[in-house]
Amino acid sequence: MIVQALKDQGVDTVFGYPGGAVLPIYDEIFLQNDIRHYLVRHEQGAVHAAEGYARSTGKPGVVLVTSGPGATNAVTGLTDALMDSIPIVVLTGQVPTFMIGNDAFQEADTVGITRPCTKHNWLVRDTADLSNVIHQAFHVATHGRPGPVLVDIPKDVQFASAAYTAPENARTSHYAPKTRGDADRIEELVALIESAERPIIYSGGGVINSGVAASQKLRELVDGTNFPITSTLMGLGAYPANGRNWVGMLGMHGLYEANLAMHDCDLMINIGARFDDRITGRLDAFSPGSRKVHIDIDPSSVNKVIHVDVPIIGDVDSVLGDALALWKSRGSKTRKDAVEVWWAKIREWRSINCLAFTQATKTIKPQHALTRLEALTKDHDRYICTEVGQHQMWAAQYLGFNEPHRWMTSGGLGTMGYGFPASIGVQVAHPGALVINVAGEASWLMNMQEMGTAVQYNLPVKQFILNNERLGMVRQWQELLHGERYSQSWSEALPDFVKLAEAFGAKGILCSDPDDLDDAIMEMLAYDGPVIFDCVVEKHENCFPMIPSGEPHNKMLLGEASTKGAIGTKGAVMV
Amino acid sequence: MAPLKIKKGTSKHSAYDLRDPHSEGLERHTLAVVVANEAGVLARVIGLFSGRGYNIESLTVAETDHRGHLSRITVVTIGTPSVIEQIKAQLGRIVPVHEVHDLTVEGPSVERELALFKVAGEGNDRIEALRLAEIFRANVVDSTLSSFVFEMTGTSEKIDAFAELMRPLGLQEVARTGVAALSRGTA
Ligand SMILES: Cc1ncc(C[n+]2csc(CCOP(=O)(O)OP(=O)(O)O)c2C)c(N)n1
Ligand SMILES: [Mg+2]
């Protein structure tokens, strides 16, 4: 029944790990061939793999794990997916209904534990409800603002039989978030587009979640109006990095020109982003002179942090479609001259070239490694995942994303250990594509057991580790905020990554000389199988630009020279 | 730039009825939340308040529509206008929540609470307690030679006031139901 429900939902891939409380489901899986099950090495890995699968396809990812420890191991992944609005469906086994509440072996209050980290969850106590609930789960995960859901299924409920409910007969009607934006507000947006002198479009992960068509409309809007566009970390690729109007990522480690444009604009159009604190910096100094429009499918995102003038609740695709149609019907007007002057200003900011770095002769700078990786892979059918830390920010800065669904990173939760299993999920979804996980050595170790999964299924994921032998981002904060007292931010006793790869039956490459870098990257690309690339980089490089926590956008640190004493004690309490 | 037809931060045109968003003043709002009567729904609502640091002044819940399996949760909460708007939006996001009504802004409403008071005393105190109960229209639902249990229905303020008066007269215990509320007239 469960497998049937999954098939009827179009599922062909499940990431999971068996145990006593899910044996009946594993038995069903054994007896069929339509659904392929990928055995991970840790349940956290299963959830991140499902996230990678979902992010790179737009379809929900599916996870199957056992009760108790299986379920608790999934909690980090669920929280990650909730923060980044990723649709995943997690099925957990539970002890039989008659034992619930008795502290039975491997019993955990799974729905209780996961209530705050799922969009919704269910405990199914009756087999007659089971198929209906599974269909509801898919409906909730994928409608409105996407997110993770969990269905907890006691073992006796798995064993019993009952009539099957087909998806079209499932009760899903009550959950129907509004997708069409309010016409009056869309008219206000169009009027603002027509009259803005210093506009900026600020797009986010919501555009990606709204589907490929939404990215197309975004491009049409940007190209039609000639407005500059910046994006959050989660929104990269919705507008192409090689597009004419791209001003780069914004936020704490965003580009100088993007952040200054946000600060000085007179019209800010937020499309599917959420005014996260990594974006806004100090709230009372956030873009003080602008009218703000916010398009979001989730009413609770609007006016949560920043008060906006024109809130538009709806799906990005639908709202942009309506806005474009109206704007065109009114003659596709903008203040062309004023916008040109604004562009001149942006070009002036851009000319300081905030991402410039000098590659040394002896050691590889991490920025250089990524610049070469970009040059040598940009024409491939390429998907990039990352872990969390400096390397993540450098990847966002130095790699270019020209299509949506090509960039998988843990934004909201910032989960070290996300990238490797996510890359496995992406590779499963796109067997022929080049999938690279840009990693830090510390993050990568957090889920390194998934090497077993990569090798077992011959998934040729490339683990590109920028090895600075440091918890680099922590070290950077300690340097800037804690008087250079480097408490516990060394990566000590690191494994020999080449031997580690070989121990798993994969390929390992070590590169520490800038002169060898290109050849080593080519060797990685040429190898048909999983690779660990240990790229030994400069240990004390800092990630700039940086807006220190608690500072406004125009108080940006650009490089070493401007950092001394730049962060006050007030900023230090923020994360 | 063209002036907006709407004034910055005014209520009428925003997604919600937003009063001055910058006001730091605290407001007390009564929310009626209609939810599917399924396991765990109360935990979701309460978890939202505790997880996000919102206040609950009073909370009542009971199934109100047996055929539709709907329950009504009445929450009285205190917060700045923007916090109240957030609370409503966050409640609306919970999957089994069908409707969220802010009775405080949606027009006139009636609010009632039921309370039981146990008052023990002798002599004049006992007589005085009875006399005040009559003024407040509280009923005696239990009596012994040395105690009364009064029952009273009214606004929370009225119940507070009565409890205050009973305190020096031997108030032992109070049990309150929390607020139940409905909008006036036909919806
Ligand atoms: C699970 C988890 N624990 C702790 C942190 C805090 N943290 C953020 S970045 C970082 C260091 C990451 O080091 P590494 O993976 O080597 O990347 P680098 O910054 O050196 O590029 C830490 C510890 C986190 N984000 N996630
Ligand atoms: Mg590191």
> What is the tens place of the pLDDT at every residue in A524-553?
999 999 999 999 999 999 999 999 887 888
State the Cα–Cα distance between residues B178 and B60, nearest whole angstrom: 6
**B82, pLDDT greater than 50:** yes
Confidence (pLDDT) at A360: 79
Nearest-CA distance from B52 to chain A in Å? Answer: 11
Pocket probe for ligand 1: among A42, A473, A487, A494, the residue whose CB has the most ligand atoms within 8 Å is A473
pLDDT above 90 coverage of chain A, percent: 91
**Domains and their CATH numbers in chain B:** 24-106 (3.30.70.260), 110-183 (3.30.70.1150)
B7 touches chain A (CB under 8 A): no
Cα separations in angstroms, A210 against A49, A302, A409: 21, 17, 18
B14 touches chain A (CB under 8 A): yes
Confidence (pLDDT) at A141: 98
State the Cα–Cα distance between residues B160 and B153, nearest whole angstrom: 11
Q: What's the mean per-residue pLDDT of chain B? A: 89
For residue A282, the 8-state DSSP code is: S
The response to whether residue A395 sits with its C-beta less than 6 Å from ligand 1 reads: no
* Closest to A524 measured CA to CA, from A446, A448, A437, A405: A437
Interface of A with B (CB under 8 A): 111-112, 115-116, 119-120, 123, 140, 145, 174-175, 184-185, 188, 191-192, 194-197, 266-267, 291, 298-300, 302-304, 307, 309-311, 313
Mean pLDDT of A205-234: 98
Answer whether B151's CB lies under 8 Å from B138's CB.
yes
The response to whether residue A472 sits with its C-beta less than 6 Å from ligand 1 reads: yes
Choice among A155, A217, A365, A555 that is catalytic = A155
Residue A473 bears catalytic tag: yes
Dihedral over Cα of A317, A322, A328, A333: its sign: negative
Mean pLDDT of A435-448: 98
- Residue A423: count other Cβ atoms within 10 Å of its Cβ: 33
Q: How confident is residue A570, by pLDDT bands cut at 50, 70 and 90?
A: low
State the Cα–Cα distance between residues A300 and B90, nearest whole angstrom: 6
State the Cα–Cα distance between residues A267 and A269, nearest whole angstrom: 6
Among the partner-chain residues B8, B40, B92, the one whose CB lies closest to the CB of A309 is B8
B90 chain-A contacts, CB cut-off 8 A? 300
**Side chain identity at residue B126, one-letter code:** R
B5 chain-A contacts, CB cut-off 8 A? 188, 191
Cα separations in angstroms, A455 against A449, A460, A494: 11, 8, 21
Which residues, numbered 139 to 178 in chain B, qualify as contacts with chain A under a Cβ-Cβ cut-off of 8 Å?
none
Residue with tokens 């989730």: A298
Token duo for residue A451? 């090497």
Least confident of A304-308, A374-378, A500-504, A529-533: A304-308
- Residue A570: count other Cβ atoms within 10 Å of its Cβ: 12
**A563, pLDDT greater than 80:** no
The pTM of this model reads: 0.93
Q: At what angle do helices B156-166 and B123-135 cross, to 10 degrees?
A: 170
Answer whether A157's CB lies under 8 Å from A125's CB.
yes
Confidence (pLDDT) at A574: 64
Q: Least CA distance to B5: which residue of chain A?
A: A188
Q: Which tens digits make up the pLDDT trace of A389-406? A: 999 999 999 999 999 999
Please write down the HEC assignment for all residues of A109-132.
CHHHHHHHHCCEEEECCCHHHHHH
Q: What residue's CA is closest to ligand 1, atom 18? A: A472
The response to whether residue A370 sits with its C-beta less than 6 Å from ligand 1 reads: no
The response to whether residue A388 sits with its C-beta less than 6 Å from ligand 1 reads: yes
Please write down the HEC assignment for all residues of chain B.
CCCCCCCCCCCCCCCCCCCCCCCCCCEEEEEEEEEECCCCHHHHHHHHHHHCCCCCCEEEEEEEECCCCEEEEEEEEEECHHHHHHHHHHHHHCCCEEEEEECCCCCCEEEEEEEEEEEECCHHHHHHHHHHHHHCCCEEEEECCCEEEEEEEECHHHHHHHHHHHHHHCEEEEEECCCEEEECCCC
B14 chain-A contacts, CB cut-off 8 A? 303, 311
B69's CB contacts (< 8 A; 6+ apart) are B36, B37, B38, B63
Mean pLDDT of A275-285: 89
For residue A550, the 8-state DSSP code is: T
Answer whether A370's CB lies under 8 Å from A384's CB.
no
Token duo for residue A45? 């890995």
Rounded to 10 degrees, the C-alpha dihedral A10/A12/A17/A19 comes to 60
Q: Do the chains contact at B39 and A194, CB–CB below 8 Å?
A: no
Task: Number of A to B CB contacts under 8 A, please give it.
Answer: 80
Q: Least CA distance to A181: which residue of chain B?
A: B15
DSSP H or E segment with residue A464: strand A462-467
**A168, pLDDT greater than 70:** yes
Q: Is B186 exposed, middle or buried (0-12, 13-18, 19+ CB in 10 A)?
A: exposed
Residue A105 bears catalytic tag: yes
Q: Do the chains contact at B21 and A192, CB–CB below 8 Å?
A: no
Answer whether A250's CB lies under 8 Å from A259's CB.
yes
Answer whether B88's CB lies under 8 Å from B16's CB.
yes
Cα separations in angstroms, B129 against A139, A552, B143: 59, 62, 12
Chain A interface disruption, residue of B54, B87, B95, B99, most A CBs within 10 A: B95
Mean pLDDT of A208-227: 98
**Helix (H, G, I), strand (E, B), or coil: what is residue A139?**
helix
Q: Least CA distance to A140: which residue of chain B?
A: B95
Q: Which tens digits make up the pLDDT trace of A127-146? A: 999 999 999 999 999 999 99
State the Cα–Cα distance between residues A45 and B117, nearest whole angstrom: 57
**Helix (H, G, I), strand (E, B), or coil: what is residue A365?**
coil
Choice among A473, A524, A546, A556 that is catalytic = A473
Query: How far does the centroid of ligand 2 lie from the alpha carbon of residue A466, in Å?
Result: 7
State the Cα–Cα distance between residues B149 and B173, nearest whole angstrom: 9
Q: Which tens digits make up the pLDDT trace of A50-86? A: 999 999 999 999 999 999 999 999 999 999 999 999 9
Q: Which tens digits make up the pLDDT trace of A516-529? A: 999 999 999 999 99
Q: What's the mean per-residue pLDDT of chain A? A: 95
